[in-house]
Amino acid sequence: MNHTKYIFVTGGVTSSLGKGIISASLAKLLQARGIRVTIQKLDPYINIDPGTLNPYEHGECFVTNDGAETDLDLGHYERFLNIPTSQANNITTGRIYQSVINKERKGDYLGKTVQVIPHITDEIKESVKKLGADGDFDVVITEIGGTVGDIESLPFVEAVRQLKWELQNKCIVIHLTLVPYLAAAGELKTKPTQHSVKTMLELGVQPDVLVCRTEHHLDDEIRSKIARFCNVSENAVIESRDANSIYRVPLLMQDEQLDQVVLEKLGMENNTPDLSKWKQFLHNLDNLKHEVNIGLVGKYVELQDSYKSIVEAIQHAGVSSNTKVNINWIHSEGITEGTANAKLNNLQGILVAPGFGERGIEGKIMAVQYARENNIPFLGICLGMQCAVIEFARNVLNLKDAHTVEIDKTTPFPVINMMEEQKFINNLGGTMRLGEYECKVQKDSNIYKSYGDTIINERHRHRFEFNNQYLTQFEEKGMISTGKNPQTDLVETVEIPNHKWFVGVQFHPEYKSSVEEPHPLFISFVEAALDQ
C-alpha cells in the first residue's frame, strides 16, 4: 500500500510571492526530520517546457541530469535539498495537452469525447502521483505556478480539488497569499487574503494552511481574523516576512512551526529536525572575513533571475571560502574597445555567462581578451567558453575571422568556424546536448585540482562544439583542452596554463551547486580571484 502524502502549494493575490522558496523551505524542514521528500512544479503556460523561452520572459532555464529543460524553481529545490530532480518534477500545460492529444490520436480514449474533465485533469493527477508511485518518497510537494483565479491554472486547481477528495487525509493545500500594509491607514489589510481564499473556495478547494507574505508582524488579532474568515486554525496562519537571504527562510518557517502544523495535519511523526549543517552555513554567511569583486558579463543582466544558478553557486563558493563576493553586473553590449578598461579594471575575477544568439557576443569576446591579457582569473561557461576560444583564435592564432556557425548565418564576411554544430541527438529528441555527460579530465589541470578526480559528470545545454580540426594550433600556442568527452572526443574544457587561472567549460557547473555541497569549480574560481 502506498503511504505517500501530498502537499500542494498555491498562490493568490499576486505572483512572485515566493511559492518556490516556501516549498523548498518546507521540504528542507521535513528532510531534516528524516522524511524523504521531493518537489515538483506545475506551470500553467502552454510551452512544452521553458527551453524556448527568452530569459526575460521566465528567467533562467534549469537543466536536470536527465536532460529536461525546466523552471528555475527546480534549481531552488536542488540547492535546498541537495538531491537531483528529473523531467517528472516539472510539468507544463503544454506537456499535459500534448500527452492527451497523442493518446487521443492513438485511440486510447476509445472514441470518447476528450474534455478538460476528466481527461486533462486525469493527466495532471497522474503526473502528480507519478513521483509518489514507486515509494521512493514519503512526501511529494507540488507547487502550482501562477495565481489562483487565472484562467490558465483552472485545470490544475480542479485536479487539486479532485485529489484532495480522493486522497483525504493524505493530502493538504498550503495557500500563499499577501497581507499588504497600507501606510496611509497605518495598518495591515486582510481583505486581499480573504478574497484569495474565497476564490479558492469557489473552485472547491479549502486551504489547510495559509502562508501570509507581509512586511510587518502579524499580531494575534490579525491571525485570529484571518483564521476566522478563511476557515483555518489560528496555528495554520503562518507569517512570512522578507529575509536578507533565501537560505534563512527555512529557519523562519521553523520558528512559525510550519513543518509541525503540516505534519500534524498529515498525521505524520514529528521527529526532531537536524539543521546543524544549514545553521553552520548561515553562521558562516554572517561572518565572512574576506571580500572580492567578480564581474558577471552577460546580455540578460537587467533580469538577474536569468543567471540565478550562477549567482547562487558563487554565493555558495564564497561562503565556503569565507569570502563576501560582490557581483558586478556588466551588460556585454556595453563593452567596447573604449569602455572595456573602465568597466573591468576594478575586478578580481571575470565570469562570462552562457547565452544564445548573436547579440552581445563581441562584448563577451572583449571581456575574455581583457581577462587573458591582464592575467585576471577567468571562468567561461558554455557560450563563455566558446567566446574564449574565438578570442584566442582571433588575437593569438591571428585567425581574424574566427567565429561560430551560428553567427555565420547572419554575417556577410567569411568565417572560420571555431565552434561547429554537431546535431547531437539528445534523449528528449532534440538536437541540443542536454543533461549529464561524462568528462575525462587531464591531471595537473585547474579542472583536476578543483574536482580532485579524472572523471567528472556535468550537465549540458548547447548546440555547438569545439571544432577539433583547430585543436593542435590552439595547444601549440598555449590554450589546451584539459577535459574531453571519452565517448565522442568532444572538447569539454579549455585552459591557459601560463595564465593565473583561466578556465572555459562547455557544461554548466552552476546547476550542481548546493548549500551543503558548493561546486568545486566555483570554489577554485573565487579563491583564485581572492589571491588576485
Q: Enumerate the active-site residues.
A: 382, 508, 510
Dist CA 133 CA 135 (whole Å) = 6
Dist CA 509 CA 456 (whole Å) = 11
Dist CA 287 CA 276 (whole Å) = 16
Contacts of 109 (CB under 8 A, 6+ apart): 103, 119
DSSP code of residue 216: S
Phi, psi of 358 (to 5 degrees): -80, -35
DSSP code of residue 110: T
Find the helix or strand (DSSP H, E) in which 171 lies.
strand 171-178
Dist CA 364 CA 189 (whole Å) = 48
Dist CA 85 CA 310 (whole Å) = 18
Which ranges of 396-502 does DSSP label H, i.e. alpha helix? 405-408, 446-451, 471-477
Whether residue 247 contacts residue 282, with contact meaning beta carbons closer than 8 Å, is answered with yes
The answer for 292, left when phi > 0, alpha when psi is -120 to 50, beta otherwise, is: beta
Whether residue 13 contacts residue 146, with contact meaning beta carbons closer than 8 Å, is answered with no
Return the number of other C-beta atoms located less than 10 Å from residue 319's C-beta: 25
Whether residue 91 contacts residue 80, with contact meaning beta carbons closer than 8 Å, is answered with no
Contacts of 184 (CB under 8 A, 6+ apart): none
- Please, how many CA atoms are within 13 Å of residue 9, restricted to the half-sphere of its CB? 28
Cell of 509: 557547473
Dist CA 521 CA 510 (whole Å) = 9
Beta pairing, strands 433-441 & 480-484: antiparallel
List beta partners, residue 307. none
Cell of 203: 473552485
The beta strand positions in 334-479, using DSSP E, are: 349-352, 378-381, 402-404, 416-421, 433-441, 455-462, 464-466
